[in-house]
Amino acid sequence: MPETWFTSDTHFGHANILKYEQEARPFTSLEEMHECLIERWNMVVADADTVYHVGDFCFGKHNISIASRLRGKKKLILGNHDTYPTANYLNFFDKLYGVLFWRRCIISHVPCHPNGIGQRWMMNIHGHLHSKLVQEAVFNQGKIISYIDDPNYFNVSVEQHNLTPVNADVIMERVKALD
């Protein structure tokens, strides 16, 4: 039975991502990073599966074609770096979205404002933050004493998941825990 996967911020073709995210991307070249990302994607995704790429697929229009090496039926939620003409993406992605509503989640590249989550939409599946997470302040007597990870946000950036797509079942377990 086909499965559903989520990932974001692959940044194919982006040389500076190797500097910005050295811990999660300890590669000596873009080619090495590309091959690792492709291998880890294809290790878990089957041809009949659906993959939602939650933005920032690549830098450089010619790098969109890397999608042809990735298994699954690919859908792209546009990120702030996905700025090439729509036709270029539709050669490799089945569908493009700005924002998508899926089950009880809202999917967007950039995290949504917290006022829009917790009622109709239990969780925001997002990317953009790479190795960081959305956090909420913990107060004591009106003063912030610490920060904790906000459970209403699920960051699918590759840096969060060993450079590998996340299965929808993992996300749905988190949604159930919020009920």
Banded model confidence at residue 178, pLDDT cuts 50, 70, 90: confident
What pLDDT is recorded for position 137? 87
Residue 73 β-bridge partners: 50
Structure tokens at 59: 């830098």
pLDDT tier for residue 82 given thresholds of 50, 70 and 90 = very high
DSSP 59: S
Asked if residues 137 and 147 have their Cβ atoms less than 8 Å apart, the reply is yes
The DSSP symbol for 65 reads G
| pLDDT exceeds cutoff 80 at 59 | yes
- pLDDT, average across residues 62-90: 98
Instruction: Identify the CA nearest to 38 among candidates 164, 169, 175, 176.
Output: 164
68 backbone dihedrals φ, ψ, rounded to 5°? -65, -20
Please determine, for residue 119, whether its predicted confidence score (pLDDT) is greater than 80.
no
Q: Using CA atoms, how far apart are residues 12 and 111, in angstroms rounded to an integer?
A: 21
What pLDDT band is residue 115 in, cutting at 50, 70 and 90? confident
- What domains can be seen in the chain, in order of their start residue? 4-178 (3.60.21.10)
Q: Are strands 153-155 and 50-53 parallel, antiparallel or unpaired?
A: unpaired
User: Over the chain, what is the mean pLDDT?
Assistant: 95
Q: What is the pLDDT of residues 5-31, one digit of tens each?
A: 999 999 999 999 999 999 999 999 999
Q: Report pLDDT for 101.
A: 95
With pLDDT > 90 as the criterion, what percentage of the chain qualifies? 83
pLDDT at 96: 98
Q: Is the pLDDT of residue 63 over 80?
A: yes
Contact call for residues 8 and 132 (beta carbons, < 8 A)? no
pLDDT recorded at residue 136: 86
SS3 annotation, 106-123: EECCCCCCHHHCCCCCCE
